[in-house]
Amino acid sequence: MKILVINGPNLNFLGIREPEIYGKQTYKDLCNLILDYCSKKDITVEIFQSNHEGDIVDKIQQSYNRFDGIVINPAAYTHTSVAILDALKAVGTPAVEVHISKVNEREKFRQISFIRDYCIKTVVGKGFNGYIEAIDILKNHIK
């Protein structure tokens, strides 16, 4: 099984940005957690982060027919981007949406997700472990 993990804007600042919301662990810690878990489960993984909407769209397009599943935290673009939704629909790869924080308990605008309808599941408010849960969801969905 081969999966792509996509992280949107400001997630490279994990550990620095609003630690009371996102925790003190860094983006590198998140990548290591995902890499370790995937290597234990014999999953091939590529991790991508960008602060730019178009780069995320490009990455999704380039992933066409190359991955069995996508784990995506579009960060702020969750609440604004029809382009990311359309890219996911275009490639048709099963995807799971992840948010580190409890977006459902935060500002109203964070409760809107353009990609939610496309994704097979959304994992919210589980911290970094949400990514592991998302990988497991994909694993069960694909097998």
126 binds ligand DQA (CB under 6 A): no
Token pair recorded at residue 101: 């924080």
Do the Cβ atoms of 25 and 16 come closer than 8 Å? no
Q: How far is the CB of 139 from ligand DQA (least distance, A)?
A: 21
**In this chain, which stretch among 26-34, 44-52, 73-81, 88-96 interacts with ligand DQA, using CB under 6 A?**
73-81
Q: How far is the CB of 42 from ligand DQA (least distance, A)?
A: 27
| Pick 42 or 107: Cβ nearer ligand DQA | 107
Token pair recorded at residue 71: 């784990």
DSSP string, 78-90: GGT-HHHHHHHHH
Ramachandran assignment for 70, one of left (phi > 0), alpha (psi -120 to 50 degrees), beta (any other): beta
Active site residues: 22, 99
Residues that bind ligand DQA (CB under 6 A): 10, 73, 75-76, 78, 99-101, 103, 110
